Amino acid sequence: MGQDAWMEERLILVREKLKVLAGEENKAAQPFRDYFMKTAEFLLLLHRLYDRTEAEIAAASMEELQQINQALYGDIEPAHYDESNGNPSCAAKVYGQDYGPCFSMLYAQLRAAIPFAFEKKEEELLIFSELFVQIACLFEGEASPPLKEIRGILYAFFYDYSDLLIGRRAAAIVDTSDTFALRIIEQAGGADLRYLYAYGEYVTAQELRMAAYIAALPEDAVRRIAAVYAEGFLVSFEKSGKDRSGKHIANMRYHIGTERIVRCAMERLAAEGFSFSVFRKGGLCTDGGAGYESTPANRQYLCDHAADLALILDKPLAARALDSIRNAFAAYKDKAKAYGGPVCLETFGEAAVSPGVCRDAIAFDEKQRSVFLAYTTKKLDIVNQCTEGENRSFTIMALPLPEASEDYDALFQAVCRINTLDSGLYEAVQQRMIDALDGCVCVKIRGKAPNRTDLTVRLARAECPDTQTLFENCVADVNIPVGEIFTTPVLEGTNGTLFVGTAYLDGLLYRDLEIRFEDGRVADYSCGNFPDPEDGRTYILEHAFSHHERLPMGEFAIGTNTTAYAFGKKYGISARYPILIAEKTGPHFAVGDTCYSHEEDQKVIGPNGKEMIAKDNAVSILRRQDPGKAYFGCHMDITIPYDELDSITGIREDGSSVPVIYGGRFVLPGTEILNQPLI
């Protein structure tokens, strides 16, 4: 029997069993019977959608497509989450403390298979269906199976299918043969918005309104927006001294609804010889990573399942996953070398969310946390080695979602202005700051009450000041919009407290975020999101710190884009700015890797002809002996807005001071023009 015939036979068998499980013949005892019936019906819906051709989906009415989308995602929306099997607390209440979290984890994994039905990935849809059937069959007798047996099945599933679920996903960044999303991009951009549902992703009014708005923009306006970040990607190779001649694959990442702009950017890059990898953002246990995405159906749901892997994770499973990634890249060796980097169009403006604490959610123990962190670090190292990370480019730009403002047109145009500010003007002003701070040994940053920031950042030393500099002059190429100077702090001697009243990091809200540094490493941290301080610490550790306890300060920067700051105040969206824009609206500090992660040995020459030498710290330098101790796969920027800032002062070796900002205003001679938007 050939492979295709074998797959077809398995598909027939699993569908027949799903029909039994979804009907009155289901033999499981209550309350488990309801779980298996409902989940089986959900999987049958995915199989029915799989059987429909792309043409049939495209021909469906808007009303039908919206009904399908609601059937797929309505169960985990906030309004229904208290009664959803996707809610670990609800599952624990119904199925017990032992089975509940496990059932919720299984349910979440099966939900992650939704896009497979639309992408026509038969094997992936099949194996998740078989996993469910195998576990459901354990409950057909009178006695319930031991939890250990269920966990064993889950472990075997992720171990056996690691090549398919982990390896293939990791190598997707260089695989240009998957044209599913490319076909959607090609047909998108007009007044017919039904294409948004072709992805199989959650579609909200945000995606619909944004797509309609962009569809109505004049062609020249769309091309101007696209050119900003497409040109940034190309220019970056030249500015960083990287050879682009062998690079001809770019990974397009975007928010659903922006396809018309993305298509224009792709046309510009295609003219330079690039082809494209495009895939969805991953999630949960199987295939994390960046890609195209939509507004999440429920951020609480994502947080509740962020550590689901802890149900089965151990060293052998992590080792198996790493082998799968190595093998996948070996199969794409030539394409991996041709990979030029990601081209990203992000969005912002989603309402701030502070998820609650779910006591029943699966969590890592300390041993598993160590295994997980080692795995993520090694995975990053493999990807960087295989794709020659030191020779890649990238670019990122952000546009607002409609919910960011009632006057969306005015806000959209304002953000377009922010993204196209005069780089030459900022470069000259920022060079004034760099010239002044290059003569300093440290920088002191003070907050304005009630902001409790009181930090001293130690700077590197330039052995040859005439040819070396400590700060990079960042304008608008890869990192759009314009507006910052940044350096890698010396860890020893970097001490004090960083405080921000409201921080919005990676889609999550932090209130009264406070981090204390000792010799450049995180020594303590807290936030005011929860009555119990320990819940706040866990929240920061799991999300802002990516499970790392003692992260170093990887970056100190001074944002100079006061125009972006002023627009944020005008439209009331400062707290919802993405990190990309927020970091330009005040001094910011990154915990984790440096800005030069995996590229420390790449020579960087500033516009003044001097070489940037502050690229390493005492942690990143460990890469020469053990990369696993040098990198964290985490770089979280935390910004103090101008209105919470009192002063930034450089201190020379003789103790004299160099005021850069005082009273929240730029006071260094030659930088006063930055105050105009603040007036």
Report the alpha-carbon distance of residue 207 to residue 196 in Å, rounded: 8
In a domain, 65, yes or no: yes
3-state secondary structure 188-215: CCCCCHHHHHHHCCCCCHHHHHHHHHHH
Q: Is residue 128 part of a domain?
A: yes
Q: What pLDDT is stored for residue 84 in this prediction?
A: 97
Nearest to 641 by CA among 570, 568, 571: 568
Bigger pLDDT: 241 or 183?
183
Same domain, 276 and 323: yes
Q: How far apart are the first and last CA of the chain?
A: 76
Domain count, the chain: 3
CB neighbours of 87 closer than 8 A, spacing ≥ 6? Answer: 76, 81, 104, 301, 304, 358
449 and 356 fall within a common domain: no
Is 219 found in the same domain as 117? Answer: no
pLDDT, tens digit (0-9, with 9 covering 90-100), for 428-480:
999 999 999 999 999 999 999 999 999 999 999 999 999 999 999 987 666 78
* 629 within a domain of the structure (yes/no): no
Residue with tokens 């240009």: 176
Say whether 340 sits in a helix, a strand or coil. strand
CB atoms under 10 Å from CB of 93, counted, come to 14
Q: Hey, what are 38's tokens?
A: 């409902």
Same domain membership, residue 340 and residue 284: yes
* Residue 200 falls in which region: left (phi positive, over 0), alpha (psi -120 to 50) or beta: left
Contacts made by residues 145-150, CB under 8 angstroms, sequence distance 24+: 147/98, 147/99, 147/102, 150/99, 150/102
DSSP-derived secondary structure letter, 605 = B
In this structure, the answer to whether residues 362 and 439 fall within a common structural domain is: no
| 169 inside domain | no
Please tell me whether residues 236 and 151 are part of one structural domain: no
What pLDDT is stored for residue 131 in this prediction? 97
Q: Are residues 552 and 431 in the same domain?
A: yes
Please check whether residues 349 and 207 belong to one and the same domain. Answer: yes
pLDDT tens, residue by residue, 56-74: 988 999 999 999 999 999 9
103 lies in some domain: yes
Within a domain: 406 = no
CA-CA distances (angstroms) from residue 422 to 224, 427, 429, 582?
A: 15, 9, 11, 18
Share of the chain residues as helix, strand and coil, in percent rounded to the nearest 5: 50, 20, 35
Residue 25 lies in a domain: yes
Mean pLDDT of 488-516: 94
Q: Are 449 and 416 in contact (CB under 8 A)?
A: no
* CA neighbor of 101 nearest in space, from 286, 297, 288, 312: 312
Assign 610 to helix, strand or coil: coil
Q: If we measure between CA atoms, which residue out of 429, 438, 406 comes closest to residue 209?
A: 406
| pLDDT category of residue 600 using cuts at 50, 70 and 90 | confident
pLDDT in tens, 626-637: 877 889 989 999
Round the CA-based radius of gyration of the chain to a whole number and report it. 26
> Which of 289, 357, 351 has its CA nearest to residue 531?
357
Per-residue pLDDT, 351: 78
Evaluate whether 107 touches 39 at the Cβ level (below 8 Å): yes
pLDDT value for 288: 61
The token pair that represents 285 in the structure block? 């246990």
- Spatial distance between the Cα atoms of 52 and 200, rounded to a whole number of angstroms: 13
Per-residue pLDDT of 547-557, as tens digits, reads 998 999 999 99
Tell me the pLDDT tens digit for each residue of 130-161: 999 999 999 987 778 999 999 999 999 999 99
- The CA dihedral of 561, 566, 571, 574, to the nearest 10 degrees, is 60
439 Cβ neighbours under 8 A, 6+ residues apart: 465, 650, 652, 658
Strand 275-277 versus strand 249-254 pairing type: parallel
- Specify the pLDDT at position 260: 97
pLDDT band, residue 224 (cuts 50/70/90)? very high
What pLDDT is recorded for position 574? 85
Residue type (1 letter), 652: R
- Asked if residue 2 has pLDDT above 70, the reply is no
pTM of the model: 0.91
Q: Are residues 144 and 198 in the same domain?
A: no
DSSP state of 167: I
Same domain for 465 and 523?
yes
* 62 and 194 share one domain: no
Strand ranges, E, within 118-267: 249-254
Residue at token pair 């005082």: 662
| DSSP assignments along 288-337, one per residue | ----BB---S-HHHHHHTTTGGGGT--HHHHHHHHHHHHHHHHHTHHHHH
Does residue 119 lie within any of the structural domains?
yes
Q: Residue 49: which pLDDT band, with cuts at 50, 70 and 90? A: very high
How does pLDDT run across 278-297, given as a tens digit for each residue? 999 876 555 567 889 999 99
Q: What percent of the chain has pLDDT over 90?
A: 75
With a cut of 90, say whether residue 26 has pLDDT above it: no
Same domain? For 128 and 199 the reply is no
Instruction: Determine the structural domain holding residue 371 and report its residue range.
Output: 178-391
